[in-house]
Amino acid sequence: MLLTLVSILMIVALSGYIVINTYKRKERVTGMPGMMIAMSIGMMSSLALGFQLGIVFDHDLAVPSIIAILFGLGTGYFTGKPVSVLASLDGMLSGIMGGMMGAMLGSMLGFTYIMVLFVDIVFLLIFCVLLQLTSPDSVETNKTKSSGISLPFIAGIITVAFGTVSVGLLLFNQYQDSRTSVVSSQNKEQSSVQGNDNYQVIPVDVKSNGFSQENIVVKAGVPSKINFIKQTGYTCIKSIESTDLGIDVYLEKGDNYITLDNLKPGTYQFNCGMYMYYGTITVI
């Protein structure tokens, strides 16, 4: 979590720097460049901040969304204010959109070093490009310098390289999870049966793309325990909810037993906390 807090401080500080820098260059930054600066910093600052806050305020989407949207509104407004009212409006609307998307992404993915660093690098890339737009050279002339390699170009290369490595690691980790899930489920089932002799225990793997069993069948009249086994952090499934059964359980990594007693024959619905994945429990 220390990395997340450092990222938040960096986002706030660099966003403030862009606002101040735009005020200093307000006589030169006009028209379309000014609108693009306001829109870009409003969108990217709120998206990056929302992502980090979505990790900090785990299992709570409201707080990070509100904070990120308000931050994006303020950043977009004050960046666009010295340019024009239209630039301020563009910045504010972009801040609203970025805040919502970032908070949802952070809440769904949770903390992973790869994603936190990736969002930080993308933010720094946009920051470097915005510095070019607000620099005296860029606003005074449209000529492209042929000598040297610009900082945004270097940041772009780093972003693409890091993104490629990140995707490869994520896919490899997901592949490893899918290979081990079957063996792990069998081992969990054996140990669960031994430790819960009076219950029928059904293991269900919580994967990145849903549940290993979407239709769980249990016997009526026999106490049951459903073990939702969360083996990976690369999933948006943070909780299990069921209006039919009156349950709302936050999932920790590993075993998560839900005890069901005295269920009458019938079919009961359950879903993840984000209402993206669904399943049924059929009592026969």
**CB 225 within 8 Å of CB 201:** yes
For residue 190, the model assigns a pLDDT of: 47
Closest CA to 131 of 139, 143, 120: 139
Q: Does residue 273 sit in helix, strand or coil?
A: coil
The one-digit pLDDT tens for each residue of the chain (284 residues) are 688 889 999 999 999 999 998 888 887 777 888 899 999 999 999 999 999 998 888 667 889 999 999 999 999 999 999 888 999 999 999 999 999 999 988 887 777 777 888 888 889 888 888 887 776 555 444 444 555 566 656 766 776 777 677 667 666 665 555 554 444 444 544 444 444 567 888 899 888 778 888 899 888 888 888 999 987 666 778 888 888 888 888 888 888 898 888 788 999 999 888 788 889 999 88
For residue 221, the model assigns a pLDDT of: 82
Long-range own/partner contacts, residues 275-280 (CB < 8 A, 24 or more apart): 276/236, 276/237, 277/210, 277/211, 277/237, 278/214, 279/204, 279/211, 279/213, 279/214, 279/215, 279/216, 280/214, 280/215, 280/216
Query: What's the Cα-to-Cα distance from 243 to each of 96, 213, 273, 274, rounded to whole Å?
Result: 32, 19, 12, 14
For residue 143, the model assigns a pLDDT of: 47
Structure tokens belonging to residue 61: 């989407």
Length in residues, the chain: 284
Whole-prediction pTM value?
A: 0.65
For residue 77, the model assigns a pLDDT of: 95
Task: Please report the domains of the chain, with CATH numbers, ordered by start residue.
Answer: 2-137 (no CATH), 195-283 (2.60.40.420)
Structure tokens belonging to residue 86: 């239209």
For residue 196, the model assigns a pLDDT of: 57
Measured over all CA atoms, what is the biggest interatomic distance in the chain, rounded to whole angstroms? 81
DSSP letter at 57? S
Q: Compute CA 123 distance to the chain's CA centroid, rounded to the nearest angstrom.
A: 15
User: How many whole angstroms separate alpha carbon 271 and alpha carbon 254?
Assistant: 19
For residue 116, the model assigns a pLDDT of: 85
